[in-house]
Every structure is written in structure tokens, then in C-alpha cells.
Chain A
Amino acid sequence: SALCLQWPYCRKRCSYCNFNTYVVPAVDEAAVRACLVREPHTLLRLSQVQSVTSVFFGGGTPSLASPHTIGVVLEAVAGAAHLPTGAEVTLEDNPSSASTLCLAGFRAAGVNRLSIGVQSLDDAELQLLGREHTAAEAQGAVEAAWRLFPGRTSIDLLFGLLGQSRGAWARGLEAALGLCDDHISLYQLTLERGMALAAQVWRGALPTPPQDLLADMYQTACAVLVAAGFRHYEVSNFARKGALSTHNLSYWRAEQYIGVGPGAHGRFVPRGEGGHSREARVQTLEPDAWMREVQSWGHGTRRRVALSLLEQLEEVLALGLRMDEGVTHERWGHFCPHLSLEAVFGAPGKAKDLQRQGWLVLDGSGLRCTSEGLALLDSLLPDLLCQLQ
């Protein structure tokens, strides 16, 4: 099982963020640490997971935690279940001088992969996004990172920024290519409720980029990265030399994962209490409340819902088709041994039409999107879900 740990605090809230993050004057790190030690212990025992395949420190800004905290938490995880040496342990990091100084400490604590939120290499764009760093600082941070984590440093980039031109994006991408290691995540800026930026756009203060421009930017980026030897292995993720993120793959492959920390989500079978069905679980959102619950009961699970077979298959499909490998027969059979992919999507119907039209492929390895289909996945899914029913 994969294990995801949420550090809920940030120094500042970015304008494009609507995650469950908190900016507080002072963090009681010892208390948070104690809870981040206790909750995985409880949940790992509940799931009866023998081996943790990957650990991911997300947030929030987990690099604001001290290396000591990260180290203690990892030791606790290793104490509660088997954590193989070499298992992927990723930490999300923001480019800032302070955390750069800690990088060696994080490595010593057991972190072996870094995901850096570069977002842009243009100072004006960074300002619009409400980031605290400059392009030069980002560059320094990435360089420092890959010296310590060679081949295991990933960077995040945003495109489709308000007012961003094709040219500006191409230049930004080129600069990123010159800087990056073997993994890049490219995200189209998506406005959602709760983002400061979205409020500005909806007020009419900022213009949104046209759909066609966004499609062009995405296509250009895919082409440039593939030409540079990257494998486009998920809608927004690119890797070369096999540097795929094991942790994230386990989400898309609908494997088990345990969420720890405020607002974390999990999907696992609670075998420890005799459960047999996969559950969707959410931890309490607000950090103080979450801590009180962990202190009282050992965990802060706020909601748990058993997923029906149909719901599980819907997730397998919606997540699996995001990957270049798609949903393999093996993966599908694991959830649904009595009804094959061919039986559901090979029969005449909407899915067959989509295959004929060149958006989908169903063959010996499984069901997957073509590269054209991948960019349109959200238009394909409703039809596929209809057919699944």
C-alpha cells in the first residue's frame, strides 16, 4: 500500500490554491509530529498492510517541517509495517533558501525523491501566482536538489496562466527543460472555487485564456517533452530513464493507499476489523480538530464509505485511463474477475464508437486512450461510465 502524509501548513496561501491548507502564526510541531506518528500506526494496523510501497509527504508545504519530524515519522512507519529500502519516499518542496538548507537533512531522514513546486520560471508569472520565490531562487533550488537527489528530482510547472502567450510558454518550457532532471509535471491552471485567482477572474478583473490556446500549449509541451526523451505516462506527468513516480502510479492503478493527516483521503480494505470491501476514507479537515481526534482515538477518520463494485470500477476506469498504459486486463480482472474489459467495452455501443473514432484502443494489453483521446478524456468518460452501468 502507498502511504500519503499531509502537512497542512503553509507560510502563505498561493492565489491558485484551494487545497486544505492553513497559514498559522506558530505550528506546534511536536504535537503535529506525535499525531503523524500515531495515525499511520493506527491505520496501518487497521488495514493490515504488510508492506508500504511508497511514502509521500504532501500538503500544505511539508518542507516546512523539520528533517527531524520527517525522520521520526518515517521511523514510525517502518516500525508499523515493512518499509523496503529503496521504497520511494517523496517530499514536496518549495524553492526557498530555507528549505534548500534542509535538503541534506531530509535525505538523511530517509527522503529519496523531491518534488519541487517551481510553477514558472518568470518572475511576473510567479508574482501573479502568489509565490514567494523568484525564478532565480527556483533555479538554485532545483540545482541544489538534483545534486542531492540525482535522477529523483521532479519539478511542477503551470501553464495557461492568465495573459500567458504561446511564446512565453514555449520559452518557459525551454528554460525548464534546461533545468530539469528526469521528471516533470505540467498542470493547466484550472480555476476552481476557493482560489483567490478564480475570484478575480469571475469578477472580470482578469481574462481567461481561450480554449484553443490552452490546447495548443498542451500539445506543444507534450511534443517538446517527448522529443526530449520523456515518456508521457500520465495526462500531466512526464518521465525519462524510468523515473516514473511509483507513488502516484498507485493512485491511478487504483491500488490501496492510506491517507494520513488533515483532509487526507484513502482507499483501502479495513481488514483489521474484519472488513472485506474497499472503503473511501477522509480524515478530518481542520488540523486542530484532527489532532484532538488522533490524540483521543488514534486516528482522525471523519468519513468512511464502502464502495460498491460499480463505484470501484468507475474509479479504476476514470483514473486508469489517465495513464499511457491505460487499464490493463490484469488490473480490471483484479476488481472484476467475472466480466472482462472486452465484454463491457468491446460490445457495440458508445465505447466501440469511440474506438472507431480513434480516441480509445482496446487490445491485448487493455483499454487505453490514444494520445489524442488522452487530451479529451473528460469528454469520453461520461459515455464510458454510461456503458459500464
Chain B
Amino acid sequence: MALAGRTAMRWARLRSPCPAAAPLCLPPWLPAGPVACERLLLAAYDKEKLDMSTYPVESIRNFSIIAHVDHGKSTLADRLLEITGTIAKTDRNKQVLDKLQVERERGITVKAQSASLFYSHEGINYLLNLIDTPGHVDFSYEVSRSLSACQGVILVVDANEGIQAQTVANFYLAFEAQLAIIPVINKIDLKNADPERAEKQIEKLFDIPIDECVRISAKRGTNVEKVLQKVIEKIPPPPCNTADPLKALVFDSTFDHYRGVIANIALFGGEIQKGHKIVSAHTKKRYEVNEVGILTPNEQPTRKLYAGQVGYLIAGMKEVTEAQIGDTLFLYKQPVEPLPGFKSAKPMVFAGMYPVDQTEYNNLKSALERLTLNDSSVTVHRDSSLALGAGWRLGFLGLLHMEVFNQRLEQEYNMSVILTAPTVPYKAILSSAKLIKEYGKAEITIINPARFPDKLSVSEYLEPTVLGTIVTPHEYIGKIIALCQDRRAVQKDMLYIDEHRVMLKYLFPLNEIVVDFYDALKSLSSGYASFDYEDAGYQAADLIKMDILINGNPVEELATIIHNDKAYATGKFLCERLKDAIPRQLFEIAIQAAIGKKIIARETLKAYRKNVVAKCYGGDITRRMKLLKRQAEGKKLMRKIGNVEVPRDAFIRVLKRQTDK
């Protein structure tokens, strides 16, 4: 992916290497004059040309843009890059920092990117490091790690939509990290924009005076300069000193097939350059620095990096795990107190992944290895199943993360896989001495329904919970409360953030929101309600394992751990949906939900009685033969459960489709 992303970036620059508008301050590698274009391209290959010593700590600002999805974060980033001459100003700059195909397709940021901007203000040349953040609740972990390299944030709020659930969550992340916060009201050019209302909400909820908000239109560029000035005025320079020993925080990493690990670093002290011997505080391993540089947003080598600056480092690390996010790097024989690392990403959703055909196992394995190099938040455990063969159990940050990962496997590695029903990490307190001995502990985490321990050997089951924040126009409150109750949620808070909008807080069992809660919420509020959540520990729960049987054979992909109260309804629902998803065959098919040996729901898919084309003469049988052959090919890809043939995407379709209530 790193390759694909970089290629795309280079292409974007090659298309229009000449900035159309004169930048306010030329980046140091961009000489003025007509030869600028060629020089710009040459510069990429002319290593170690940049001298970063002209940017002392006082002239550096490190900041992020945080916002609810679609509030204009990427558009603002595009404008900032243009204004500072980092990229050429064209109409085509859309989501410049979103390099992945999936990001552009879905309009979301998955992988945080960084860019160094050069900007002159009141006679001083500033180095502004923009550390982009992902914009979906699943990736909030990436947000917090991006924030650790910053001293301030731009909090973008849509003038039309006002504060949304993610705005709240992101605000608190920044607030707790004690960062300077610059509230920005975006999209003021829209017809229904109501910036006053958004400002009042910000004042009420975040206690930020109205006059501190900057009203902008990122799309049109209105007032964007003012945002830059605020960044310089309000965000403090990084608190560090070049004279101190080297202290570098690894806040992200990517993997390049040719150059190995590229670690994104923020220097909290000292300086770093090629040839330096460095040590990882986490692994104690020693490396020699091959290359340092800044991101503009593609890599731009520099002679050195100095305290306060943000950039990248290549130092012969072979695996992403060597560049542990949150790790501190220091000079060999000059150890420093490591910076507080952050908790590693905690997977919230687990699913089994298997090759469609076992002969594809090795290809899938290498694709997984390469993709996880760039997405260290995915956990991978080898797994195997009687029905599906050898595979893996993967942990994801959320369902979107799982979908994105799957999509990237398809798009970037051309792999299609069998994915099992997602499950959350349940726990069980074992009571059986034998099992305790087997596991070596009394409390176990269950990430695979196939390994769900029987009730008889368990004293208590626990399920993970989250504290969910919902922001909604008040007319939908009734429906939303009903939805939350249906999802076994407990209300914790309810607050009117203005006359029309309410913020609700609920404690949810995680499994109730994993699959389709967000879609359900969106559909019953006509898209107006927003949702975000944070981890809230475990609670006791009455859990059981439910199997889905097709003609008596269990469907491993659909085995789920579920709350007892929900078993009948879910079982019935799954059976009904499966009936629609499986094509009729030559024989009758029984679709059943079972708890242990007890059948709790059943649907019957009747046998085909007639399936033959009526007219077949000397006409266009070529087309008909093509169709038959396509069906014959399709049969080879079908998942066989007993003698029942099931299209591969049937199960995931069954799970994804939301309940229409």
C-alpha cells in the first residue's frame, strides 16, 4: 500500500508541479524562478539537501485537525497545503492526504498522514507540522497517537450540522492531552449554515468563548489564512531543546517494500541525522540512521532533524513491530527517560479469516503479513477450523476497520476470503479446575465462538461494554431511546446542547453496536444523529453460544456468542435472512438456529421444482452457453456446507443487513 500511495502522490505532483499561486513563503527546497518545476522534481532525488536548522523551536508549531466525519477536515488540510505552497493550487486537490484507494472511495481517512508546511508571518518563517488524523470512531486510537506529537489542534465544526458525537469525543481527547484548541466553524458558505448556533454549542459544551471561533469556508478558502495565524498565535512551540540529548517519539510507521520501515517521529529533544546510532527504548535494539527528512507530504530528505520538528526516519528496521508506536528513540550510550508511550490499539471486533481455497493459504498469508505491516492495529492469530481449514483470527478496531481491511486485501492484493461473523472479546471466569489448569488462569478471553467454554465449567461470563455518545436533533429522541433499550443499553446522561440538539450517553454492551447499530441509528434519524464510543470495561452477562445449521451441518462462519435474551429473536432473524441469501437447490434445505442440541428457530428453503429455459432453438445460444459456463465457474467458488452450495458472500450479507423494525 505504501507503494501505491506514494505512486499516487508523485503522480499528483507531476501533473501540476508548478504552484499556480505564488506561495507566501517559499519552502526551502523550492527555489524561485522558472526552473522551479524541474528543480522540484530533482530535489526529490537530491538527498540531504534541506537544512532544517533555520527553524528553531520557537518557530515550530505541531498541530492536528480534528473533526466529525464530513465536517471538512481533509478539505481544510488541502487548503493549508495550498496556501503554504506545499502543493500546487488546483481544483483537483481533494483529500490530498488520503492516499489509499479505500479512503478516497469512502471519503474517510483511515491512515493518518503528516505534512510540514512553511509559512511566513510578521517577518518570521514558521515550520508548521500538520499531523492528519483519521475521521471515524473505529480509528480514534489513531487520533490519540497523532495528538501525542502535537501541542494544539484545530477543532473543525460544520456550521450546518453543529457539534456531533465525534466532535465531542475528539474534543475530550485533545482536552485531556492539554492541547491548545482552536475552534473553527467550517462551511459558512452553505445556504443553511448557522455559525452562531455552532458557536453557542461550543461555548456551552466545551466552555470556549464564542469570540475565539474562526468562521471559515475551507472549500472556498475563506478565512483559512486566519486559521494559520491562530495556529501561530495560540499553539505553543514544542517544549524542548536542541541542546538536550536526542529524544524522539515514534507516533506512526509505514512499511515500504524497498526501504523497510519508515517511522514517523517527533523530536522532543536533541537532533538526529544520517549515521547516528540510535536505540529503541522499547526493544533495546540498536540501529544506524540511514535517512531522516520531513513529509511534504511525501518524503523529503533533510540533513538533520532538530528538537521540536516532526519528520520521518529510516534506520534499517525490517518489521513494523520494531518501530513500536509510542516508543522513544535515543542516541546509543545517551539513554533518556522514555516518553509516556500509549496503550497499544485494543481490538474490539474479532473475526476468522480463511482462504476460499486452501491452496491459496500461502498467498493470503503473505498478503496479510504485508497489509498488517502497515496497519499495526490489526492483531493476527493463527487459527484453524474443521470446516474452513487453516486460517487466522484477526482483531479489528471496529466493523468499519474490518471492512476497510477486507477491501484493501481485495483492492491491493487481489485476495478474496471467507470472513466469519464478527465477535467481540468476551471473557469467562472458569470454575473447572481442569480448565483453569489447561489455560493457566481462571479468567480467559474468548475471541472465537468455537472455543466458548460450557456453562458448567464457568462461574461467570463477562461482556465488553462501551460508553456511547449520541448527538441528535431532539425530534428523534423517542426512537433513539427505544433503539438503545432494544440494544440492552443503560442511559447515563442526557443533555440539551442547544434548544434543538440533545447529547445522550449510554452504556452499551459492545456486541450490540458492533454490526449494525450505526446504520440503524442513521436510518431512524434520517442521517442526523451521530455516534461515537469509548471503551468502558466489562460487565457480567448471561451468554450462550448459538449455532446456525444448514441441513444439520453447522455453519462455522455464523456461530455466535449471544446474550440469552436475544437468542430467539436473533436466531429467527438469521434463519430468515439466510433463506433469502441461499439460492434454491435440487433438494429442500432446513436452516436452523440451535443452542447446544436445542433448535430454537427454523426456516425451510423449498427445493427447485422447475428451472429450465423455455425457448432454446437456433437463436443466440452463444449467450446462453456463456451464462451456463459462468454458473459452472461460480459453482467452484461456492462454499459447500454438506451438499448445500452457498454463495461466498451470503453469510456476510446476512450479517450486515440491518434489522428493519
User: Interface residues, chain A, CB within 8 Å of chain B?
Assistant: 2, 4, 19, 187-190, 211-212, 214-215, 218-219, 235-236, 248, 251-252, 257, 259, 264-267, 280, 282, 305, 311, 314-315, 318-319, 322, 357, 359, 374-383, 385-386, 389
Interface flags, B585-623, vs A, CB<8A=1, else 0 = 111000000000000000000101111111111111110
Contacts of A267 in B (CB 8 A): 618
Interface flags, B620-645, vs A, CB<8A=1, else 0 = 11101100110110111000000000
Whether B618 contacts A257 by the Cβ 8 Å rule is yes
Sample of 18 A–B contacts (CB below 8 Å): A2-B618, A188-B610, A215-B610, A236-B614, A252-B616, A264-B618, A280-B622, A282-B620, A305-B622, A314-B628, A319-B616, A322-B612, A375-B610, A379-B608, A382-B628, A382-B631, A382-B632, A385-B628
Whether A375 contacts B585 by the Cβ 8 Å rule is no
Whether B635 contacts A378 by the Cβ 8 Å rule is no
Whether A376 contacts B615 by the Cβ 8 Å rule is no
Q: How far is the CB of A321 from chain B (nearest CB, A)?
A: 10
Residue in chain B with minimal CB distance to A186: B614
Q: How far is the CB of B583 from chain A (nearest CB, A)?
A: 9
Cα distance A318–B621 when bound, in Å?
Answer: 10
Contacts of B611 in A (CB 8 A): 375-379
Known contacts A375-B609, A382-B635, A386-B632; A4 and B624 CB within 8 A of each other: no
Whether A376 contacts B586 by the Cβ 8 Å rule is yes
Contacts of B635 in A (CB 8 A): 382-383, 386
Contacts of B618 in A (CB 8 A): 2, 4, 251, 257, 259, 264-267
Contacts of B616 in A (CB 8 A): 235, 251-252, 319, 322
Interface flags, B453-483, vs A, CB<8A=1, else 0 = 0000000000000000000000000000000
Whether B609 contacts A318 by the Cβ 8 Å rule is no
Known contacts A376-B586, A386-B635; A236 and B628 CB within 8 A of each other: no
Cα distance A377–B612 when bound, in Å?
Answer: 5
Whether B610 contacts A385 by the Cβ 8 Å rule is no
Cα distance A385–B634 when bound, in Å?
Answer: 12
Residue in chain A with minimal CB distance to B583: A379
Known contacts A375-B609, A379-B585, A379-B586; A385 and B615 CB within 8 A of each other: no
- Tally of A-B Cβ pairs under 8 angstroms: 104
Contacts of B619 in A (CB 8 A): 19, 265
Known contacts A265-B618, A315-B621, A319-B621; A375 and B612 CB within 8 A of each other: yes
Cα distance A385–B628 when bound, in Å?
Answer: 8
Interface of B is mostly: loop
Cα distance A2–B629 when bound, in Å?
Answer: 27
- List CB contacts (< 8 Å) of B539-587 with chain A: 584-587
Residue in chain B with minimal CB distance to A189: B614
Cα distance A211–B612 when bound, in Å?
Answer: 12
Residue in chain B with minimal CB distance to A19: B619
Given known contacts A318-B625, A376-B586, A376-B609, what 4 new A-B pairs fall within 8 Å (CB)? A305-B622, A377-B611, A381-B628, A382-B634
Contacts of B615 in A (CB 8 A): 187, 190, 236
Contacts of A214 in B (CB 8 A): 610
Whether A315 contacts B625 by the Cβ 8 Å rule is yes
The 9 lowest CB-CB distance pairs between A and B, nearest first, are A215-B609, A215-B610, A385-B632, A382-B631, A382-B632, A187-B614, A377-B612, A188-B614, A375-B610
Q: How far is the CB of A148 from chain B (nearest CB, A)?
A: 24
Whether B609 contacts A378 by the Cβ 8 Å rule is no
Cα distance A380–B608 when bound, in Å?
Answer: 11
Whether A314 contacts B629 by the Cβ 8 Å rule is yes
Whether A235 contacts B585 by the Cβ 8 Å rule is no
Contacts of A383 in B (CB 8 A): 632, 635
Highest count of chain B CB atoms <10 Å: which of A187, A188, A380, A382: A382
Cα distance A381–B624 when bound, in Å?
Answer: 12
Q: How far is the CB of A223 from chain B (nearest CB, A)?
A: 14
Contacts of A218 in B (CB 8 A): 610
Interface flags, B319-337, vs A, CB<8A=1, else 0 = 0000000000000000000
Contacts of A305 in B (CB 8 A): 622
Contacts of B609 in A (CB 8 A): 211-212, 215, 219, 375-376
Whether A251 contacts B617 by the Cβ 8 Å rule is yes
Contacts of B622 in A (CB 8 A): 265, 280, 282, 305
Residue in chain A with minimal CB distance to B610: A215
Cα distance A318–B606 when bound, in Å?
Answer: 25
Option from B612, B617, B632, B634 in Cβ contact (under 8 Å) with A374 = B612
Cα distance A322–B617 when bound, in Å?
Answer: 11
Q: How far is the CB of B361 from chain A (nearest CB, A)?
A: 23
Cα distance A348–B184 when bound, in Å?
Answer: 72
Residue in chain B with minimal CB distance to A350: B635
Contacts of B625 in A (CB 8 A): 311, 314-315, 318
Contacts of A2 in B (CB 8 A): 618
Whether B608 contacts A248 by the Cβ 8 Å rule is no
Cα distance A385–B609 when bound, in Å?
Answer: 21
Q: How far is the CB of A43 from chain B (nearest CB, A)?
A: 14
Contacts of A380 in B (CB 8 A): 586
Cα distance A319–B628 when bound, in Å?
Answer: 12
Q: How far is the CB of B4 from chain A (nearest CB, A)?
A: 35
Option from B586, B610, B620 in Cβ contact (under 8 Å) with A211 = B610
Contacts of A385 in B (CB 8 A): 628-629, 632
Contacts of A375 in B (CB 8 A): 609-612
Known contacts A251-B618, A280-B622, A386-B635; A378 and B629 CB within 8 A of each other: no
Q: How far is the CB of B628 from chain A (nearest CB, A)?
A: 5
Q: How far is the CB of B634 from chain A (nearest CB, A)?
A: 8
- List CB contacts (< 8 Å) of B99-139 with chain A: none
Contacts of B617 in A (CB 8 A): 248, 251
Whether A265 contacts B614 by the Cβ 8 Å rule is no
Q: How far is the CB of B604 from chain A (nearest CB, A)?
A: 13
Residue in chain A with minimal CB distance to B585: A379
Contacts of A378 in B (CB 8 A): 611-613, 628
Residue in chain B with minimal CB distance to A314: B625
Q: How far is the CB of A74 from chain B (nearest CB, A)?
A: 19
Whether B612 contacts A376 by the Cβ 8 Å rule is yes
Q: How far is the CB of B632 from chain A (nearest CB, A)?
A: 4
Residue in chain B with minimal CB distance to A250: B618
Cα distance A190–B606 when bound, in Å?
Answer: 21
Whether A265 contacts B628 by the Cβ 8 Å rule is no
Whether B621 contacts A265 by the Cβ 8 Å rule is yes
Contacts of B608 in A (CB 8 A): 211, 376, 379
Whether A190 contacts B614 by the Cβ 8 Å rule is yes
Cα distance A375–B610 when bound, in Å?
Answer: 5
Contacts of B614 in A (CB 8 A): 187-190, 235-236
Q: How far is the CB of A62 from chain B (nearest CB, A)?
A: 14
Q: How far is the CB of A193 from chain B (nearest CB, A)?
A: 11
Q: How far is the CB of B609 from chain A (nearest CB, A)?
A: 4
Contacts of A190 in B (CB 8 A): 613-615
Highest count of chain A CB atoms <10 Å: which of B606, B612, B619: B612
Contacts of B620 in A (CB 8 A): 265, 282
Cα distance A282–B620 when bound, in Å?
Answer: 8
